Structure 1
Amino acid sequence: MVGRTWGLTPRLTLWLYQAVIRPIISYGAIVWWPRTKLSIVEARLQRLQRLACMATTGCMRTTPTAALEALLGLPPLHLFIQQQALAAAVRLKKSNLWRPPRVPHTEILYEAIGKEPLIEAVTDRIPKQFVFDKKYKIQLHEELHEGLNPRELRIFTDGSKTRSGTGAGVFSEDLNIHISTPLGAHNTVFQAECMGIIMAAHAIVSREVMDYPIRILSDSRSVLQALQSYTFTSGLIYECHKALSEVCTTNGVTLQWIKGHSNSHSRHLGERRLGTEGGRT
Protein backbone atom coordinates (compact mmCIF):
# COMPACT_ATOMS: atom_id res chain seq x y z
CA MET A 1 0.00 0.00 0.00
CA VAL A 2 2.94 2.34 0.49
CA GLY A 3 5.86 3.22 -1.72
CA ARG A 4 8.45 5.98 -1.69
CA THR A 5 6.58 8.01 -4.31
CA TRP A 6 3.10 6.43 -4.34
CA GLY A 7 0.43 4.92 -2.09
CA LEU A 8 -1.30 6.16 1.05
CA THR A 9 -0.67 9.65 2.35
CA PRO A 10 1.76 10.00 5.26
CA ARG A 11 -1.05 11.06 7.57
CA LEU A 12 -3.18 8.00 6.77
CA THR A 13 -0.18 5.68 7.00
CA LEU A 14 0.67 6.95 10.48
CA TRP A 15 -2.99 6.66 11.52
CA LEU A 16 -3.14 3.03 10.38
CA TYR A 17 -0.07 2.21 12.44
CA GLN A 18 -1.26 4.00 15.59
CA ALA A 19 -4.92 2.97 15.42
CA VAL A 20 -4.70 -0.57 13.99
CA ILE A 21 -1.25 -2.13 13.98
CA ARG A 22 0.16 -0.89 17.30
CA PRO A 23 -2.97 -1.86 19.33
CA ILE A 24 -2.76 -5.37 17.84
CA ILE A 25 0.89 -5.63 18.86
CA SER A 26 0.27 -4.35 22.40
CA TYR A 27 -2.83 -6.49 23.03
CA GLY A 28 -2.56 -8.33 26.35
CA ALA A 29 0.62 -6.39 27.20
CA ILE A 30 -0.08 -6.70 30.92
CA VAL A 31 0.73 -10.43 30.65
CA TRP A 32 3.78 -10.46 28.39
CA TRP A 33 5.41 -7.05 28.97
CA PRO A 34 8.44 -8.57 30.86
CA ARG A 35 9.68 -9.89 27.49
CA THR A 36 10.19 -6.29 26.33
CA LYS A 37 13.11 -6.03 28.77
CA LEU A 38 15.09 -8.51 26.65
CA SER A 39 17.47 -6.81 24.22
CA ILE A 40 16.56 -9.18 21.36
CA VAL A 41 12.83 -8.42 21.74
CA GLU A 42 13.51 -4.70 22.01
CA ALA A 43 15.50 -4.84 18.76
CA ARG A 44 12.71 -6.70 16.93
CA LEU A 45 10.11 -4.22 18.12
CA GLN A 46 12.35 -1.35 17.04
CA ARG A 47 12.70 -2.83 13.54
CA LEU A 48 8.92 -3.16 13.27
CA GLN A 49 8.28 0.44 14.28
CA ARG A 50 11.04 1.59 11.95
CA LEU A 51 9.09 0.11 9.02
CA ALA A 52 6.08 2.25 9.99
CA CYS A 53 8.29 5.34 10.35
CA MET A 54 9.90 4.82 6.95
CA ALA A 55 6.55 4.15 5.27
CA THR A 56 5.18 7.37 6.75
CA THR A 57 8.11 9.66 5.99
CA GLY A 58 9.67 8.10 2.89
CA CYS A 59 13.08 8.73 4.45
CA MET A 60 16.49 7.41 3.44
CA ARG A 61 17.58 4.04 4.83
CA THR A 62 20.37 5.66 6.83
CA THR A 63 18.00 7.89 8.84
CA PRO A 64 18.27 7.01 12.58
CA THR A 65 15.18 5.37 14.08
CA ALA A 66 15.29 7.60 17.16
CA ALA A 67 15.13 10.70 14.93
CA LEU A 68 12.10 9.34 13.05
CA GLU A 69 10.32 8.48 16.32
CA ALA A 70 10.96 11.97 17.68
CA LEU A 71 9.74 13.52 14.42
CA LEU A 72 6.48 11.52 14.44
CA GLY A 73 5.92 11.66 18.21
CA LEU A 74 6.17 7.89 18.63
CA PRO A 75 7.73 6.53 21.84
CA PRO A 76 9.96 3.46 21.40
CA LEU A 77 7.65 0.47 20.98
CA HIS A 78 8.97 -1.48 23.98
CA LEU A 79 8.32 1.55 26.22
CA PHE A 80 4.83 2.02 24.74
CA ILE A 81 4.00 -1.62 25.55
CA GLN A 82 5.17 -1.16 29.14
CA GLN A 83 3.07 2.00 29.36
CA GLN A 84 -0.02 0.12 28.16
CA ALA A 85 0.62 -2.68 30.65
CA LEU A 86 0.91 -0.21 33.53
CA ALA A 87 -2.25 1.62 32.46
CA ALA A 88 -4.16 -1.70 32.43
CA ALA A 89 -2.82 -2.64 35.87
CA VAL A 90 -3.81 0.73 37.36
CA ARG A 91 -7.25 0.53 35.77
CA LEU A 92 -7.83 -2.96 37.19
CA LYS A 93 -6.64 -1.90 40.64
CA LYS A 94 -8.85 1.19 40.74
CA SER A 95 -11.83 -0.98 39.72
CA ASN A 96 -11.09 -3.46 42.56
CA LEU A 97 -10.38 -6.17 39.99
CA TRP A 98 -6.63 -6.50 40.69
CA ARG A 99 -6.13 -9.69 42.69
CA PRO A 100 -3.28 -11.57 40.99
CA PRO A 101 -0.53 -13.35 42.95
CA ARG A 102 2.92 -11.74 43.14
CA VAL A 103 4.22 -13.08 39.83
CA PRO A 104 6.68 -11.41 37.39
CA HIS A 105 4.10 -9.75 35.13
CA THR A 106 2.41 -8.01 38.11
CA GLU A 107 5.63 -6.34 39.22
CA ILE A 108 5.03 -3.41 36.88
CA LEU A 109 2.38 -2.00 39.23
CA TYR A 110 4.49 -2.37 42.37
CA GLU A 111 7.51 -0.83 40.65
CA ALA A 112 5.38 2.15 39.60
CA ILE A 113 3.98 2.57 43.13
CA GLY A 114 7.54 2.60 44.48
CA LYS A 115 8.39 5.49 42.14
CA GLU A 116 5.06 7.30 42.46
CA PRO A 117 3.12 6.40 45.65
CA LEU A 118 0.15 8.53 44.53
CA ILE A 119 -0.83 5.69 42.17
CA GLU A 120 -2.02 3.76 45.23
CA ALA A 121 -4.40 6.55 46.29
CA VAL A 122 -8.12 5.77 46.46
CA THR A 123 -10.15 6.94 43.45
CA ASP A 124 -13.83 7.61 42.92
CA ARG A 125 -14.14 5.42 39.83
CA ILE A 126 -16.19 2.22 40.11
CA PRO A 127 -17.25 -0.44 37.60
CA LYS A 128 -20.23 0.83 35.63
CA GLN A 129 -23.52 0.44 37.52
CA PHE A 130 -26.88 0.55 35.72
CA VAL A 131 -29.92 1.92 37.56
CA PHE A 132 -33.32 2.13 35.83
CA ASP A 133 -35.73 2.16 38.80
CA LYS A 134 -35.05 5.47 40.52
CA LYS A 135 -37.81 6.52 42.91
CA TYR A 136 -36.72 10.14 43.30
CA LYS A 137 -37.34 12.87 40.76
CA ILE A 138 -34.87 15.38 39.31
CA GLN A 139 -36.04 18.90 38.44
CA LEU A 140 -33.48 20.99 36.57
CA HIS A 141 -35.51 24.22 36.53
CA GLU A 142 -36.60 26.58 39.26
CA GLU A 143 -40.16 26.81 40.53
CA LEU A 144 -42.22 29.72 39.27
CA HIS A 145 -44.02 29.96 42.60
CA GLU A 146 -42.48 28.81 45.86
CA GLY A 147 -44.27 27.03 48.67
CA LEU A 148 -47.41 25.91 46.79
CA ASN A 149 -47.52 22.68 48.81
CA PRO A 150 -47.74 23.50 52.55
CA ARG A 151 -46.93 19.88 53.53
CA GLU A 152 -43.72 19.84 51.52
CA LEU A 153 -40.49 19.77 53.51
CA ARG A 154 -37.73 21.86 51.96
CA ILE A 155 -34.06 21.15 52.56
CA PHE A 156 -31.17 23.24 51.22
CA THR A 157 -27.76 21.76 50.52
CA ASP A 158 -24.59 23.53 49.48
CA GLY A 159 -20.86 23.04 49.09
CA SER A 160 -17.99 25.43 48.58
CA LYS A 161 -14.24 25.54 48.23
CA THR A 162 -11.83 28.23 49.36
CA ARG A 163 -8.07 28.44 49.78
CA SER A 164 -8.41 27.06 53.30
CA GLY A 165 -10.42 23.98 52.31
CA THR A 166 -13.72 22.49 51.19
CA GLY A 167 -16.95 22.10 53.11
CA ALA A 168 -20.58 21.04 52.79
CA GLY A 169 -23.73 22.08 54.63
CA VAL A 170 -27.41 21.24 55.03
CA PHE A 171 -30.16 23.55 56.29
CA SER A 172 -33.92 23.10 56.79
CA GLU A 173 -36.32 25.15 58.87
CA ASP A 174 -39.00 22.51 58.41
CA LEU A 175 -36.88 19.72 59.95
CA ASN A 176 -34.70 21.89 62.20
CA ILE A 177 -31.54 20.79 60.41
CA HIS A 178 -28.39 22.92 60.47
CA ILE A 179 -25.33 20.81 59.63
CA SER A 180 -21.95 21.86 58.26
CA THR A 181 -18.78 19.84 57.97
CA PRO A 182 -15.24 20.39 56.61
CA LEU A 183 -14.09 17.98 53.92
CA GLY A 184 -10.39 18.75 53.65
CA ALA A 185 -8.19 20.64 51.25
CA HIS A 186 -8.14 18.30 48.25
CA ASN A 187 -11.84 17.77 47.48
CA THR A 188 -13.64 19.44 44.59
CA VAL A 189 -16.76 21.60 44.71
CA PHE A 190 -18.61 18.79 42.87
CA GLN A 191 -17.74 16.37 45.67
CA ALA A 192 -18.75 18.92 48.32
CA GLU A 193 -22.13 19.49 46.66
CA CYS A 194 -22.70 15.73 46.43
CA MET A 195 -21.76 15.27 50.08
CA GLY A 196 -24.32 17.93 51.01
CA ILE A 197 -27.10 15.85 49.42
CA ILE A 198 -25.84 12.67 51.11
CA MET A 199 -25.81 14.44 54.50
CA ALA A 200 -29.36 15.67 53.90
CA ALA A 201 -30.54 12.12 53.11
CA HIS A 202 -28.89 10.74 56.24
CA ALA A 203 -30.44 13.52 58.35
CA ILE A 204 -33.91 12.69 57.03
CA VAL A 205 -33.47 8.99 57.81
CA SER A 206 -32.09 9.68 61.31
CA ARG A 207 -35.15 11.84 62.11
CA GLU A 208 -37.47 9.01 60.95
CA VAL A 209 -39.43 11.28 58.62
CA MET A 210 -42.28 9.35 56.98
CA ASP A 211 -45.04 10.00 54.43
CA TYR A 212 -43.97 13.51 53.45
CA PRO A 213 -43.13 15.10 50.11
CA ILE A 214 -39.53 16.26 50.45
CA ARG A 215 -37.79 18.75 48.18
CA ILE A 216 -33.98 18.89 48.32
CA LEU A 217 -32.66 22.08 46.72
CA SER A 218 -29.13 22.29 45.33
CA ASP A 219 -27.37 24.83 43.13
CA SER A 220 -25.19 22.14 41.53
CA ARG A 221 -26.69 21.28 38.16
CA SER A 222 -23.78 18.93 37.42
CA VAL A 223 -24.51 16.74 40.47
CA LEU A 224 -28.21 16.55 39.62
CA GLN A 225 -27.41 15.65 36.01
CA ALA A 226 -25.08 12.91 37.23
CA LEU A 227 -27.87 11.54 39.46
CA GLN A 228 -30.28 11.75 36.53
CA SER A 229 -28.12 9.42 34.44
CA TYR A 230 -28.93 5.71 34.25
CA THR A 231 -25.26 4.70 34.46
CA PHE A 232 -22.94 5.45 37.37
CA THR A 233 -19.14 5.28 37.26
CA SER A 234 -18.58 7.51 40.31
CA GLY A 235 -18.59 5.86 43.71
CA LEU A 236 -19.70 9.09 45.39
CA ILE A 237 -22.65 9.58 43.03
CA TYR A 238 -23.65 5.93 43.49
CA GLU A 239 -23.50 6.36 47.28
CA CYS A 240 -25.69 9.46 46.93
CA HIS A 241 -28.18 7.47 44.85
CA LYS A 242 -28.39 4.74 47.51
CA ALA A 243 -28.89 7.31 50.30
CA LEU A 244 -31.72 8.97 48.36
CA SER A 245 -33.29 5.57 47.59
CA GLU A 246 -33.41 4.84 51.32
CA VAL A 247 -35.30 8.08 51.92
CA CYS A 248 -37.70 7.21 49.08
CA THR A 249 -38.86 4.02 50.83
CA THR A 250 -41.05 6.15 53.16
CA ASN A 251 -41.23 9.54 51.42
CA GLY A 252 -41.56 11.19 48.06
CA VAL A 253 -38.33 12.96 47.09
CA THR A 254 -37.67 15.63 44.47
CA LEU A 255 -34.21 17.09 43.88
CA GLN A 256 -34.46 20.56 42.41
CA TRP A 257 -31.84 22.82 40.94
CA ILE A 258 -31.97 26.40 42.16
CA LYS A 259 -29.77 29.25 41.05
CA GLY A 260 -27.02 29.97 43.56
CA HIS A 261 -26.96 33.42 45.21
CA SER A 262 -30.31 34.21 43.59
CA ASN A 263 -33.02 36.60 44.74
CA SER A 264 -35.18 33.70 45.91
CA HIS A 265 -36.19 34.31 49.53
CA SER A 266 -35.81 30.61 50.38
CA ARG A 267 -32.45 30.35 48.63
CA HIS A 268 -31.16 33.47 50.37
CA LEU A 269 -32.32 32.14 53.73
CA GLY A 270 -30.69 28.77 53.10
CA GLU A 271 -27.38 30.35 52.04
CA ARG A 272 -27.35 32.69 55.01
CA ARG A 273 -27.98 29.90 57.49
CA LEU A 274 -25.43 27.64 55.78
CA GLY A 275 -22.84 30.41 55.74
CA THR A 276 -22.11 29.96 52.03
CA GLU A 277 -22.80 33.49 50.87
CA GLY A 278 -19.69 34.72 49.12
CA GLY A 279 -18.33 31.17 48.75
CA ARG A 280 -17.58 30.37 52.41
CA THR A 281 -18.64 27.25 54.31
Structure 2
Amino acid sequence: MAITGCMRTTPTGALETMLNLPALHVFIKQEAASAAVRLKTLNLWRTNQPAHPEVLTEVIEKEPLLLAVSDRSPKEYIFDKKYKIQLYEEPKQDFNVIDLRIFTDGSKTRSGTGYGVFSEDLNIKIAAPLGAQNTVLQAECMGIIEAATATLARKVKDYSIRILSDSKSVLQALQSNTITSKLIYDCHQYLTELCANGNQVTLQWIKGHSDSRGNDAADELARKGLEMIAIGPDPIVPLPSRWPTMVIREHTKELQSKYWTEVRGCRQAKEALLQEDITRTEQYRKR
Protein backbone atom coordinates (compact mmCIF):
# COMPACT_ATOMS: atom_id res chain seq x y z
CA MET A 1 0.00 0.00 0.00
CA ALA A 2 2.89 2.35 0.78
CA ILE A 3 4.47 1.74 -2.62
CA THR A 4 1.30 2.10 -4.70
CA GLY A 5 -0.19 4.96 -2.71
CA CYS A 6 -3.61 3.29 -2.75
CA MET A 7 -6.43 3.90 -0.31
CA ARG A 8 -6.28 2.21 3.07
CA THR A 9 -9.40 0.18 2.29
CA THR A 10 -8.05 -1.28 -0.98
CA PRO A 11 -8.21 -5.10 -0.84
CA THR A 12 -4.78 -6.76 -0.75
CA GLY A 13 -6.00 -9.45 -3.15
CA ALA A 14 -6.98 -6.83 -5.71
CA LEU A 15 -3.56 -5.19 -5.51
CA GLU A 16 -1.88 -8.57 -5.99
CA THR A 17 -3.99 -9.28 -9.06
CA MET A 18 -3.37 -5.82 -10.55
CA LEU A 19 0.40 -6.12 -10.06
CA ASN A 20 0.56 -9.82 -10.99
CA LEU A 21 2.01 -10.72 -7.58
CA PRO A 22 1.10 -14.02 -5.92
CA ALA A 23 -0.44 -13.94 -2.46
CA LEU A 24 2.07 -14.48 0.32
CA HIS A 25 0.91 -18.00 1.17
CA VAL A 26 0.96 -18.96 -2.55
CA PHE A 27 4.45 -17.51 -2.99
CA ILE A 28 5.72 -19.45 0.05
CA LYS A 29 4.40 -22.68 -1.48
CA GLN A 30 6.21 -21.83 -4.73
CA GLU A 31 9.54 -21.30 -2.97
CA ALA A 32 9.09 -24.47 -0.90
CA ALA A 33 8.32 -26.51 -4.03
CA SER A 34 11.35 -25.06 -5.86
CA ALA A 35 13.62 -25.93 -2.94
CA ALA A 36 12.16 -29.45 -2.71
CA VAL A 37 12.73 -30.14 -6.42
CA ARG A 38 16.27 -28.74 -6.24
CA LEU A 39 17.13 -30.93 -3.24
CA LYS A 40 15.56 -33.96 -4.94
CA THR A 41 17.65 -33.30 -8.06
CA LEU A 42 20.87 -33.16 -6.03
CA ASN A 43 19.91 -36.28 -4.00
CA LEU A 44 19.71 -34.21 -0.83
CA TRP A 45 15.95 -34.58 -0.25
CA ARG A 46 15.09 -35.90 3.21
CA THR A 47 11.58 -36.65 4.49
CA ASN A 48 12.17 -36.75 8.23
CA GLN A 49 9.05 -34.68 8.96
CA PRO A 50 5.56 -35.84 7.86
CA ALA A 51 4.55 -32.52 6.22
CA HIS A 52 7.58 -32.22 3.94
CA PRO A 53 6.65 -34.89 1.32
CA GLU A 54 3.39 -33.07 0.56
CA VAL A 55 5.33 -30.09 -0.83
CA LEU A 56 7.01 -32.25 -3.45
CA THR A 57 4.05 -34.57 -4.07
CA GLU A 58 1.75 -31.73 -5.12
CA VAL A 59 3.99 -30.42 -7.89
CA ILE A 60 4.91 -33.95 -9.05
CA GLU A 61 1.22 -34.76 -9.51
CA LYS A 62 0.93 -31.61 -11.60
CA GLU A 63 3.98 -32.40 -13.75
CA PRO A 64 5.44 -35.95 -13.44
CA LEU A 65 8.44 -34.99 -15.61
CA LEU A 66 9.83 -33.11 -12.60
CA LEU A 67 11.10 -36.53 -11.46
CA ALA A 68 13.14 -36.91 -14.66
CA VAL A 69 16.90 -36.49 -14.69
CA SER A 70 17.96 -32.85 -14.49
CA ASP A 71 20.93 -31.25 -16.21
CA ARG A 72 21.92 -29.63 -12.91
CA SER A 73 24.99 -31.22 -11.30
CA PRO A 74 27.33 -30.45 -8.41
CA LYS A 75 30.19 -28.12 -9.36
CA GLU A 76 33.10 -29.67 -11.23
CA TYR A 77 36.39 -27.77 -11.45
CA ILE A 78 38.43 -28.51 -14.57
CA PHE A 79 41.64 -26.64 -15.32
CA ASP A 80 43.49 -28.97 -17.70
CA LYS A 81 41.72 -28.85 -21.07
CA LYS A 82 43.35 -30.28 -24.16
CA TYR A 83 41.08 -28.53 -26.66
CA LYS A 84 41.05 -24.82 -27.50
CA ILE A 85 38.15 -22.35 -27.54
CA GLN A 86 38.14 -19.49 -30.05
CA LEU A 87 35.38 -16.94 -29.47
CA TYR A 88 36.03 -14.91 -32.62
CA GLU A 89 35.92 -15.51 -36.35
CA GLU A 90 38.99 -15.69 -38.49
CA PRO A 91 39.51 -12.38 -40.33
CA LYS A 92 39.70 -14.39 -43.52
CA GLN A 93 38.98 -18.06 -44.00
CA ASP A 94 42.26 -19.66 -45.07
CA PHE A 95 41.28 -22.78 -46.99
CA ASN A 96 44.94 -23.68 -47.53
CA VAL A 97 45.18 -24.72 -43.89
CA ILE A 98 44.55 -28.44 -43.57
CA ASP A 99 41.75 -28.52 -41.02
CA LEU A 100 38.93 -31.00 -40.79
CA ARG A 101 35.96 -28.65 -40.46
CA ILE A 102 32.73 -29.70 -38.76
CA PHE A 103 29.75 -27.33 -38.49
CA THR A 104 27.12 -27.72 -35.78
CA ASP A 105 23.88 -25.92 -35.01
CA GLY A 106 20.75 -26.15 -32.87
CA SER A 107 17.18 -25.00 -33.39
CA LYS A 108 14.06 -24.68 -31.26
CA THR A 109 10.40 -23.86 -31.74
CA ARG A 110 7.38 -24.29 -29.49
CA SER A 111 6.83 -27.76 -30.90
CA GLY A 112 10.31 -29.18 -30.49
CA THR A 113 14.09 -28.92 -30.47
CA GLY A 114 16.68 -30.33 -32.87
CA TYR A 115 20.34 -30.20 -33.81
CA GLY A 116 22.40 -30.71 -36.94
CA VAL A 117 26.00 -31.63 -37.79
CA PHE A 118 27.59 -31.15 -41.20
CA SER A 119 31.07 -31.80 -42.56
CA GLU A 120 32.17 -32.18 -46.16
CA ASP A 121 35.62 -33.29 -45.03
CA LEU A 122 34.28 -36.24 -43.03
CA ASN A 123 31.05 -36.83 -44.98
CA ILE A 124 28.86 -36.12 -41.94
CA LYS A 125 25.20 -35.17 -42.27
CA ILE A 126 23.27 -35.65 -39.03
CA ALA A 127 19.84 -34.33 -38.07
CA ALA A 128 18.31 -35.40 -34.76
CA PRO A 129 15.44 -34.30 -32.48
CA LEU A 130 15.29 -33.55 -28.76
CA GLY A 131 12.30 -33.02 -26.49
CA ALA A 132 10.07 -29.97 -26.43
CA GLN A 133 11.33 -29.13 -22.93
CA ASN A 134 14.98 -28.90 -23.97
CA THR A 135 16.63 -25.55 -24.73
CA VAL A 136 18.42 -24.36 -27.85
CA LEU A 137 21.63 -24.22 -25.77
CA GLN A 138 21.26 -27.94 -25.06
CA ALA A 139 20.66 -28.55 -28.77
CA GLU A 140 23.83 -26.64 -29.65
CA CYS A 141 25.75 -28.67 -27.05
CA MET A 142 24.37 -31.96 -28.40
CA GLY A 143 25.52 -30.89 -31.86
CA ILE A 144 29.11 -30.59 -30.61
CA ILE A 145 28.84 -33.93 -28.76
CA GLU A 146 27.53 -35.60 -31.93
CA ALA A 147 30.35 -34.03 -33.96
CA ALA A 148 32.94 -35.47 -31.55
CA THR A 149 31.17 -38.86 -31.49
CA ALA A 150 30.98 -39.09 -35.29
CA THR A 151 34.66 -38.17 -35.60
CA LEU A 152 35.65 -40.78 -33.01
CA ALA A 153 33.59 -43.40 -34.89
CA ARG A 154 35.66 -42.64 -38.01
CA LYS A 155 38.86 -43.24 -35.99
CA VAL A 156 40.38 -39.91 -36.98
CA LYS A 157 43.90 -39.54 -35.57
CA ASP A 158 46.66 -36.93 -35.72
CA TYR A 159 44.56 -34.28 -37.47
CA SER A 160 43.75 -30.64 -36.85
CA ILE A 161 40.00 -30.58 -36.22
CA ARG A 162 37.94 -27.40 -36.13
CA ILE A 163 34.36 -27.58 -34.82
CA LEU A 164 32.44 -24.42 -35.75
CA SER A 165 29.37 -23.36 -33.75
CA ASP A 166 27.34 -20.15 -33.69
CA SER A 167 26.58 -20.54 -29.96
CA LYS A 168 28.90 -18.42 -27.84
CA SER A 169 27.01 -19.53 -24.72
CA VAL A 170 28.05 -23.17 -25.16
CA LEU A 171 31.64 -22.27 -26.03
CA GLN A 172 31.89 -19.99 -22.98
CA ALA A 173 30.47 -22.77 -20.79
CA LEU A 174 33.12 -25.16 -22.13
CA GLN A 175 35.81 -22.52 -21.62
CA SER A 176 34.84 -21.95 -17.97
CA ASN A 177 36.79 -23.85 -15.32
CA THR A 178 33.55 -24.42 -13.37
CA ILE A 179 30.95 -26.79 -14.78
CA THR A 180 27.47 -27.25 -13.29
CA SER A 181 25.81 -28.94 -16.28
CA LYS A 182 25.86 -32.68 -16.96
CA LEU A 183 25.58 -32.08 -20.68
CA ILE A 184 28.50 -29.62 -20.74
CA TYR A 185 30.56 -32.09 -18.70
CA ASP A 186 29.75 -34.92 -21.14
CA CYS A 187 30.73 -32.62 -24.02
CA HIS A 188 34.05 -31.91 -22.29
CA GLN A 189 34.66 -35.66 -21.89
CA TYR A 190 34.03 -36.41 -25.59
CA LEU A 191 36.28 -33.55 -26.69
CA THR A 192 39.02 -34.76 -24.34
CA GLU A 193 38.75 -38.26 -25.83
CA LEU A 194 39.00 -36.78 -29.31
CA CYS A 195 42.20 -34.96 -28.30
CA ALA A 196 43.64 -38.19 -26.84
CA ASN A 197 43.89 -39.62 -30.37
CA GLY A 198 46.60 -37.10 -31.20
CA ASN A 199 44.17 -34.61 -32.70
CA GLN A 200 44.41 -30.86 -32.22
CA VAL A 201 40.83 -29.78 -31.53
CA THR A 202 39.63 -26.18 -31.73
CA LEU A 203 36.07 -25.04 -31.11
CA GLN A 204 35.46 -21.80 -33.00
CA TRP A 205 32.55 -19.38 -32.93
CA ILE A 206 31.06 -18.51 -36.29
CA LYS A 207 28.42 -15.90 -36.96
CA GLY A 208 25.08 -17.48 -37.77
CA HIS A 209 23.38 -16.85 -41.13
CA SER A 210 26.57 -15.33 -42.54
CA ASP A 211 26.41 -17.07 -45.94
CA SER A 212 28.74 -19.81 -44.73
CA ARG A 213 27.95 -22.95 -46.71
CA GLY A 214 28.81 -25.23 -43.79
CA ASN A 215 26.88 -23.22 -41.20
CA ASP A 216 23.84 -22.92 -43.46
CA ALA A 217 23.88 -26.70 -44.04
CA ALA A 218 24.09 -27.38 -40.28
CA ASP A 219 21.22 -24.92 -39.68
CA GLU A 220 19.07 -26.69 -42.27
CA LEU A 221 19.81 -30.06 -40.66
CA ALA A 222 18.93 -28.65 -37.21
CA ARG A 223 15.56 -27.39 -38.50
CA LYS A 224 14.99 -30.78 -40.08
CA GLY A 225 15.81 -32.41 -36.75
CA LEU A 226 13.22 -30.46 -34.76
CA GLU A 227 10.53 -31.63 -37.19
CA MET A 228 11.45 -35.28 -36.59
CA ILE A 229 9.80 -37.47 -33.97
CA ALA A 230 12.09 -38.33 -31.08
CA ILE A 231 12.40 -42.07 -30.47
CA GLY A 232 12.84 -43.16 -26.87
CA PRO A 233 11.70 -42.10 -23.41
CA ASP A 234 11.08 -38.42 -22.79
CA PRO A 235 13.29 -36.49 -22.07
CA ILE A 236 15.97 -37.57 -24.54
CA VAL A 237 18.65 -35.64 -22.65
CA PRO A 238 18.50 -34.26 -19.07
CA LEU A 239 15.99 -31.49 -18.54
CA PRO A 240 17.41 -27.95 -18.36
CA SER A 241 17.97 -26.82 -14.77
CA ARG A 242 15.60 -23.85 -15.17
CA TRP A 243 12.70 -25.89 -16.54
CA PRO A 244 11.36 -27.01 -13.10
CA THR A 245 11.27 -23.36 -11.98
CA MET A 246 9.20 -22.43 -15.04
CA VAL A 247 6.76 -25.29 -14.39
CA ILE A 248 6.39 -24.39 -10.70
CA ARG A 249 5.77 -20.71 -11.53
CA GLU A 250 3.04 -21.69 -13.98
CA HIS A 251 1.51 -23.77 -11.21
CA THR A 252 1.73 -20.71 -8.94
CA LYS A 253 -0.24 -18.65 -11.47
CA GLU A 254 -3.00 -21.26 -11.44
CA LEU A 255 -3.09 -21.28 -7.63
CA GLN A 256 -3.20 -17.48 -7.54
CA SER A 257 -6.01 -17.34 -10.07
CA LYS A 258 -7.98 -19.91 -8.08
CA TYR A 259 -7.34 -17.99 -4.86
CA TRP A 260 -8.56 -14.71 -6.39
CA THR A 261 -11.68 -16.41 -7.75
CA GLU A 262 -12.57 -18.06 -4.45
CA VAL A 263 -11.55 -15.32 -1.98
CA ARG A 264 -14.51 -13.84 -0.14
CA GLY A 265 -15.53 -10.26 -0.69
CA CYS A 266 -13.88 -7.91 -3.20
CA ARG A 267 -17.05 -7.93 -5.33
CA GLN A 268 -16.42 -4.60 -7.03
CA ALA A 269 -12.72 -5.33 -7.53
CA LYS A 270 -13.55 -8.67 -9.14
CA GLU A 271 -15.94 -6.97 -11.55
CA ALA A 272 -13.16 -4.58 -12.59
CA LEU A 273 -10.44 -7.28 -12.66
CA LEU A 274 -12.05 -10.24 -14.35
CA GLN A 275 -8.66 -11.77 -15.21
CA GLU A 276 -4.92 -11.08 -15.11
CA ASP A 277 -3.63 -8.74 -17.78
CA ILE A 278 0.15 -8.54 -18.25
CA THR A 279 -0.07 -5.35 -20.33
CA ARG A 280 -2.14 -3.66 -17.66
CA THR A 281 0.26 -4.87 -14.97
CA GLU A 282 3.25 -3.35 -16.77
CA GLN A 283 1.42 -0.04 -17.06
CA TYR A 284 0.67 -0.01 -13.32
CA ARG A 285 4.29 -0.83 -12.47
CA LYS A 286 5.64 1.98 -14.66
CA ARG A 287 3.49 4.48 -12.78
**Under a length normalisation based on structure 2, what TM-score does the superposition of the two structures give?**
0.63
- Cα distance in 1, alignment partners of residues 111 and 22 from structure 2: 41
Is 1:175 matched with 2:119? Answer: no
Question: How far apart are 1:99 and its partner, in Å?
Answer: 5.5
Give yes or no for the alignment of 1:197 onto 2:141.
Answer: no
- Which of 204, 207, 216 is matched with 1:271 structurally? 216
Distance 2:80 2:117 in 1: 26
Q: CA–CA distance in 1 between the matches of 2:222 and 2:25?
A: 53
Identical amino acids, percent of aligned pairs: 61
Within a 5 Å distance, the mapping from 1:198-237 to structure 2 comes to: 198-237=145-184
Q: Distance in 1 between matches of 2:117 and 2:202?
A: 16
Work out whether 1:254 is the aligned partner of 2:198: no
Structure number with greater Rg is 1
Which of 94, 98, 116 is the matching residue for 1:146?
A: 94
Separation of aligned partners in 2, 1:253 and 1:87: 39
Structure 2: where are the runs of 5+ without partners? 226-287
Residues 103 and 214 in structure 2, CA contact (< 8 A), matched pair in contact too: no
Unpaired runs of at least 5, structure 1: 1-9, 12-58
Match of 1:89 in 2: 36
Instruction: Report the alpha carbon displacement of residue 92 of structure 1 after superposing the two structures with TM.
Output: 0.6
**Cα distance between partner residues in 2 of 1:246 and 1:86:** 39
Match of 2:83 in 1: 136
2:125 partner amino acid: H
- The superposition leaves residues 251-270 of structure 1 with CA deviations (integer Å, 9 ceiling, x where unpaired) of 2110001112213xxx3145
Matched residues, number: 220
Q: CA deviation at 1:214?
A: 0.8
| 180 and 118 in structure 1: CA distance in 2 versus 1, 3 angstrom threshold | closer
Superposition RMSD in Å: 3.5
Distance change >3 Å, CA 182–CA 85, structure 1 → 2: closer
Structure 1 contact 161–280 (Cα < 8 Å) conserved: no
| Cα distance per residue 1:189-240 (max 9 Å; x no partner) | 2221111100001111111111111110111122111211111222222221
The structure showing larger relative contact order (alpha-carbon pairs under 8 Å, at least 6 residues apart) is 2
**In 2, distance between residues paired with 1:110 and 1:173?**
51
For the residues of structure 2 that align with 1:161 and 1:71, how far apart are their CA atoms?
Answer: 37
For 1:202, give the aligned amino acid. Answer: T
